[in-house]
Structure 1
Amino acid sequence: MPLAANDLVSNTLFFAAMQENARQMTALFAENPRLNSIFASQQRWLMAQLGLSLHYRPDPQDPAKGLYMGRFVAAAVEYGIASRNTASAFVKEMLAYRFVRRIDNPPDHRMRPLEPMDIAVQSVVKWLYAHLTILDMLDGGERAVALVENPGLFASLQPVIAQGILENHAVRSPGETFNLFTWANSGGLVMDCFIALIKDLDPDAPRILLGPVSSADICQRYLISKTHLKRLMDKAAEMGSLGHDTAAGKNMLWLSQSFVREYWTYQAEKFAIIDAAFHSRAAPEIKSGGSAVRQLSAVP
């Protein structure tokens, strides 16, 4: 059985795995900051997922069912991701960066289909592999191995995952503070960094202490300006979601329990979507660690 979001949302085993995922996401960004900075906001990441899903879900009976500028823009507006102008500008930017290209000699010369370049696809493959690895950590499954041994599985999984994410309100908007960060360029990476720094989680404490955090280091690592980061931090502080404890002369950053819960809820819902997609698309004989799933669900 797939892991359920309700079982993950308050499970301390999942929290530790979620922290590992946060570290993996920041490491992936470090591998290619130029490429990954293109998708370093919720809006742009959702548009990337949408574009790939249109590419991987064509209809042989209908040449218009694929990745086309008009279809992408219409879908982005329909899902409430972006305006027509923003969606159109995103595609043009992807073309300019050569992350997407126009297909030569299309079946219907009246249409200009698009396809993602390998460098863009592989960045999302790595993203999926990292998430499958975390799911395997939870129940002893072999999802990540399945993806490596069957590369075509990605094309089957991605549209299902994208649809699940695009249609899930808890993933799209888990909370006010999460939304503040994730819709800002590199804001999601900053959250990942904060969550990865948590050493001791007390689910009953109103504040969770991280320790000293260098703003200059964050700006340098995640390509975010000092002004931009300060605006995010100041706004989150006004919301009571984070702050600094200056006891003992140290500038110790803390996060509110509600902020951590928003992040936790988002991750639980996202991982549940990915696992459900895997179980619906992967071959039945692939191990998924069913007995361990029951054990995980029983952890208070």
Structure 2
Amino acid sequence: MAFAVEALASSPAFFTAVLSYARGMVAMYKESPRLASIFASQQRWLMAQSGLALHHDRTPGDPSSGLYTGRFVDYVVANEIASRNTAASFVQEMVAYRFARYAAVQPNKRNRPLEPTETALDYVWKWLGAHLAILDALDGRLRIATLSDEPGRFGRLQAEIAHALVGNDRVRRPGPTFDLFTWVNSGGVVMDDLFSRIATFDPQAERLSIGPVSPGDLSERFMISKTHLKRIFDKAAQLGSLEWERSPARGKVWLSQAFAREYWDYQAEKFALIDRAFETVFQATADRVTPVLYERAPAFT
């Protein structure tokens, strides 16, 4: 059985593991900032997942299936992820940065199927592996080993996850402060960085200390303009989600319990969704056990 959202959303062990996961996401960004930036905002993350899902949903012998610019744009617009122009520009950007390419075999002159490059697929493997590692650490199952034994199921698993993400309103709109960060390019990884700084998690604390934060350093590391970053922090402070020791934006920073709960609930929904997708794809081979949260989950590194 897959984890229930409620079990993850009420487990301090899960949230502690998620803080380690956040550190892993920041490290992945450092390794490949250009590629990781695709996943660093909600809109671009959903478009990337959607494009991969259309590619993995293709039916051999059916030239109308698969990833085409037109099909991608239609899917993105139908699911209210972005406008037609934004979706079309995203495809062009992915090709320009060599994260996607036109397939060598073209079914006809009018339709030009696209496919992800090895670089893009490798990143998504790592992204998925980070999530499966947390789930394995929580209940002792062997999801990563199962996927490694049957890598041919990766495409179906990714597509299952992507369509579920797109259709889940609690993943797409977790709360006002979360939305504030994730709808700005690189805002998602900035938020991960803030939570990755929590050394000890106390679920009862009204606010969580993350130590000194330098907006200038964040701006440089995550390729986000100082103006955008200042606007995000100012609005987060107005919402009571983020508090600076000194003004303007200097010294130690505290995150509110409400902000932590938004982040926690989002991660719980996402991890439960990924676990359900894994259960669906690997139901014949995965261990059929009821997941039980360990009191203290090993950290993901």
Q: Tell me by how many angstroms 1:128 deviates.
A: 0.4
Give the 3-state SS of the residue equivalent to 2:278 in structure 1. Answer: helix
The equivalent residue for 1:66 is: 66
The equivalent residue for 1:28 is: 28
The equivalent residue for 1:229 is: 229
The equivalent residue for 1:205 is: 205
1:53, 1:162 within 8 Å by CA — same for their partners in 2? yes
Structure 2 CA distance for aligned equivalents of residues 283 and 270 of structure 1: 19
> Per-residue displacement from partner, 1:217-273 (whole Å, max 9, x unpaired)?
3223222222221111011111111011349xx822011111111111110010011
Structure 2 CA distance for aligned equivalents of residues 234 and 7 of structure 1: 34
The equivalent residue for 1:154 is: 154
> Per-residue displacement from partner, 1:108-148 (whole Å, max 9, x unpaired)?
33311111111111111110011111111101111112223
67-76 vs 195-204, greater mean Cα deviation = 195-204
144-153 vs 173-182, greater mean Cα deviation = 144-153
The equivalent residue for 1:219 is: 219
Structure 2 CA distance for aligned equivalents of residues 32 and 236 of structure 1: 28
Match of 1:294 among 283, 292, 295: 292
Structure 2 CA distance for aligned equivalents of residues 38 and 267 of structure 1: 19
Structure 2 CA distance for aligned equivalents of residues 132 and 294 of structure 1: 15
Change (3 A) 1:39 1:13: closer
The equivalent residue for 1:257 is: 257
User: 2:119 aligned with 1:119, yes or no?
Assistant: yes
Q: Tell me by how many angstroms 1:106 deviates.
A: 1.8
User: Match of 1:219, as an amino acid?
Assistant: S
Structure 2 CA distance for aligned equivalents of residues 176 and 275 of structure 1: 26
Give the 3-state SS of the residue equivalent to 1:254 in structure 2. Answer: strand
2:138, 2:293 within 8 Å by CA — same for their partners in 1? no
1:129, 1:147 within 8 Å by CA — same for their partners in 2? no
Structure 2 CA distance for aligned equivalents of residues 186 and 263 of structure 1: 16
The equivalent residue for 1:173 is: 173
Structure 1 unaligned residues grouped into runs of 5+: none
The equivalent residue for 2:43 is: 43
C-alpha root-mean-square deviation of aligned residues, in Å?
A: 2.0
101-110 vs 73-82, greater mean Cα deviation = 101-110
Structure 1 CA distance for aligned equivalents of residues 219 and 239 of structure 2: 22
2:178, 2:262 within 8 Å by CA — same for their partners in 1? yes
Q: Tell me by how many angstroms 1:283 deviates.
A: 5.3
User: 2:69 aligned with 1:100, yes or no?
Assistant: no
Change (3 A) 1:67 1:200: same
2:38, 2:48 within 8 Å by CA — same for their partners in 1? no
> Per-residue displacement from partner, 1:77-121 (whole Å, max 9, x unpaired)?
011100000000100111111211112332333311111111111
Change (3 A) 1:39 1:202: closer
Give the 3-state SS of the residue equivalent to 1:200 in structure 2. Answer: coil
The equivalent residue for 2:75 is: 75
- Scaled by the length of structure 1, the TM-score of the pair is 0.92
Q: Tell me by how many angstroms 1:287 deviates.
A: 3.6
Structure 2 unaligned residues grouped into runs of 5+: none
Q: Tell me by how many angstroms 1:160 deviates.
A: 0.3
Structure 2 CA distance for aligned equivalents of residues 75 and 51 of structure 1: 9
- Scaled by the length of structure 2, the TM-score of the pair is 0.92
Q: State the identity as a percent.
A: 52
2:132, 2:144 within 8 Å by CA — same for their partners in 1? yes
Structure 2 CA distance for aligned equivalents of residues 116 and 84 of structure 1: 20
2:215, 2:226 within 8 Å by CA — same for their partners in 1? yes
Count matched residues. 294
User: Match of 2:142, as an amino acid?
Assistant: E
The equivalent residue for 1:6 is: 6
Give the 3-state SS of the residue equivalent to 1:294 in structure 2. Answer: coil
93-102 vs 168-177, greater mean Cα deviation = 93-102
Structure 1 CA distance for aligned equivalents of residues 281 and 20 of structure 2: 26
Structure 1 CA distance for aligned equivalents of residues 35 and 160 of structure 2: 24
1:182, 1:188 within 8 Å by CA — same for their partners in 2? yes
The equivalent residue for 1:183 is: 183
